[in-house]
């Protein structure tokens, strides 16, 4: 009989159980629950994320075929489709929200000194939102258009390690700029945003808190040039100016001067205009910071392709939010630095999806090194030499 623990159990070893049970107790998640605990629910949904299960029936069938192994995987109850569906619909999604946030805090500390493409010590965030389309007749609680529903995933991504430091789930009608009201500005941090987040009242709140922002300007921006700095046009920079807003409402919301940088993309010739309240960084660094904003687009693409957040196991708001937050916690749980690996997240997830019931050290499994296979000695083989 092979020795060792199952791969799934080794991955779940990184779940801080004390923190998890504290989150469950905070929202009375196991009130009147006798058998199927919140941990069993979490393990079932995490298993679905790691192995690309398509439905509750799929989860039930796969786990029941491994019935004799469930205890060693961490489960303490049998998995039934109706029980799991009821748990997703009724147990407070904030349990998994708070738990994912605690995992995010742990992961961010691991990547505190990680480089992200620029030689900077400041904390840099990228802010954006992605829309997940739904059927209006099945998800009427998430209105978006007259004929369709959707939920929006508003995300603040820490570019050191690409860890989401803040996530807010809303219906599709919520405008992106409104998420700025939910954020608590971090003094000294730099927020990189697209032009959909231009609201000078809200940006003024970030400025007063000592935070910096880099944002694309709209074409109808009303501003007056005050000063101009010399720039090296061979780098693509066109101008570096200090401007004052002249629009009535924009000036009232942001009375301080702003820095306007025009940049011509060498490859395409497209001209971009950036606004920032940071006057200390070189102009070229500001443009490179905005280029790093693309990391959040890659993050959205990755989680949509490799985690179950586009097809949902339940139709209620609670079930959808629980599934999204569990998916986020699984993403944070398998960060490479936590496991001490060099493989990409894509490779890690692909390998894990096929080896959940294998008994071998996870570091050896994910090291991408060829595994030496030795034939076991037969017990019936005679020994010629005593």
pLDDT digits (tens, 9 = 90+) for 309-359: 888 999 999 999 999 999 999 988 887 666 666 777 788 888 888 889 988
pLDDT above 60 for 273: yes
CA 239 – CA 259 distance, rounded (Å):
10
CA distance 262 to 278: 15
Q: What are phi and psi of 259, to 5 degrees?
A: -110, 125
Mean pLDDT of 221-245: 93
Contacts of 226 (CB under 8 A, 6+ apart): 241, 242, 243, 244, 257
Alpha-carbon distance 125 to 289, whole Å? 10
* pLDDT tens-digit series, residues 3-54: 578 999 998 988 999 999 999 999 998 888 888 999 999 999 999 999 989 8
Q: What percent of the chain has pLDDT over 70?
A: 93
The residue among 99, 262, 70 whose CA lies nearest residue 167 is 99
Specify the pLDDT at position 190.
Answer: 96
For residue 371, is pLDDT > 60?
Answer: no
Distance CA 137, CA 142 (A): 10
- pLDDT bracket for residue 182 (50, 70, 90): very high
Contact by Cβ (8 Å): 238, 262? yes
Give the residue with greater pLDDT, 338 vs 116. Answer: 116
At residue 370 the predicted structure's pLDDT band, cuts being 50, 70 and 90, is low
Tokens of 148: 């369709």
Q: Angle at Cα 179 formed by Cα 173 and Cα 181, nearest 5°?
A: 125
What is the full DSSP assignment across 17-55? HHHHHHHHHHTTTTTT--SS-HHHHHHHHHHHHHHT--S
Question: What digits encode the pLDDT tens for the residues 40-98?
Answer: 999 999 999 999 898 999 999 999 988 889 999 999 988 999 999 999 999 999 999 99
**Which H/E stretch holds residue 170?**
strand 163-171
Distance CA 286, CA 278 (A): 9
CA distance linking residue 200 with residue 202, whole number of Å: 5
With 50 as the cut, is the pLDDT of residue 1 above it? Answer: no
The whole-angstrom separation of Cα 243 and Cα 222 is 10
Distance from first CA to last CA of the chain, Å, rounded? 27
- Nearest Cα neighbor of 174 from 192, 157, 154, 194 is 154
Q: How far apart are CA 8 and CA 21, in angstroms?
A: 20
DSSP state letter for 112: T
**214 DSSP β-pair partners:** 192, 276
Helix (H) / strand (E) containing 90: helix 81-90
Q: Place 380 in a pLDDT band, splitting at 50, 70 and 90.
A: low
Domains of the chain, CATH where assigned: 7-95+313-365 (no CATH), 195-279 (2.20.25)
Please compute the mean of the pLDDT values over residues 110-127 and round it to a whole number. 84
- Kindly state the percentage of the chain with pLDDT values over 90: 66
Question: What does the block give as tokens for 45?
Answer: 């949904």
């Amino acid at each position: 009989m092979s020795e060792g623990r199952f791969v799934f159990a080794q991955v779940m070893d990184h779940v801080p159980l004390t923190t998890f049970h504290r989150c469950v107790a905070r929202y009375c998640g196991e009130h009147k629950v006798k058998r199927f605990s919140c941990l069993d629910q979490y393990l079932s949904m995490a298993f679905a994320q790691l192995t690309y299960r398509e439905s509750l029936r799929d989860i039930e069938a796969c786990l029941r075929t491994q019935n004799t192994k469930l205890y060693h995987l961490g489960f303490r109850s049998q998995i039934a489709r109706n029980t799991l569906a009821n748990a997703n619909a009724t147990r407070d999604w904030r349990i998994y929200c708070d738990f994912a946030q605690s995992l995010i805090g742990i992961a961010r500390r691991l990547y505190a000194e990680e480089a992200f493409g620029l030689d900077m010590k400041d904390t840099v965030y990228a802010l954006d939102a992605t829309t997940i389309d739904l059927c209006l007749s099945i998800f009427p609680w998430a209105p978006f258009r007259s004929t369709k529903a959707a939920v929006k995933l508003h995300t603040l991504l820490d570019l050191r390690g690409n860890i989401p430091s803040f996530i807010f789930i809303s219906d599709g009608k919520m405008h992106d700029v409104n998420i700025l009201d939910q954020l608590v500005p971090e003094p000294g941090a730099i927020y990189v945003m697209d032009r959909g987040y231009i609201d000078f009242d809200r940006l003024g709140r970030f400025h007063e808190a000592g935070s910096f922002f880099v944002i694309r300007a709209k074409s109808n921006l009303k501003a007056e040039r005050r000063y101009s700095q010399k720039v090296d046009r061979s780098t693509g920079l066109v101008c570096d100016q200090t401007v004052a807003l002249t629009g009535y409402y924009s000036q009232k919301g942001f009375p301080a001067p702003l820095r306007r940088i025009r940049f011509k993309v060498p490859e395409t010739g497209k001209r971009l205009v950036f606004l920032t309240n940071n006057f200390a960084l070189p102009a070229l660094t500001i443009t490179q910071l905005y280029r790093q904003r693309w990391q959040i687009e890659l993050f959205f693409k990755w989680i949509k392709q490799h985690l179950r957040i586009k097809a949902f196991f339940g139709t209620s708001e609670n079930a959808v939010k629980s599934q999204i937050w569990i998916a986020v916690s699984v993403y944070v749980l398998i960060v490479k630095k936590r496991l001490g690996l060099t493989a990409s997240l894509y490779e890690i997830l692909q390998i894990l999806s096929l080896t959940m019931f294998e008994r071998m050290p996870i570091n050896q499994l994910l090291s991408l090194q060829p595994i030496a296979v030795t034939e076991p000695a037969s017990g019936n083989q005679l020994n010629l030499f005593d």
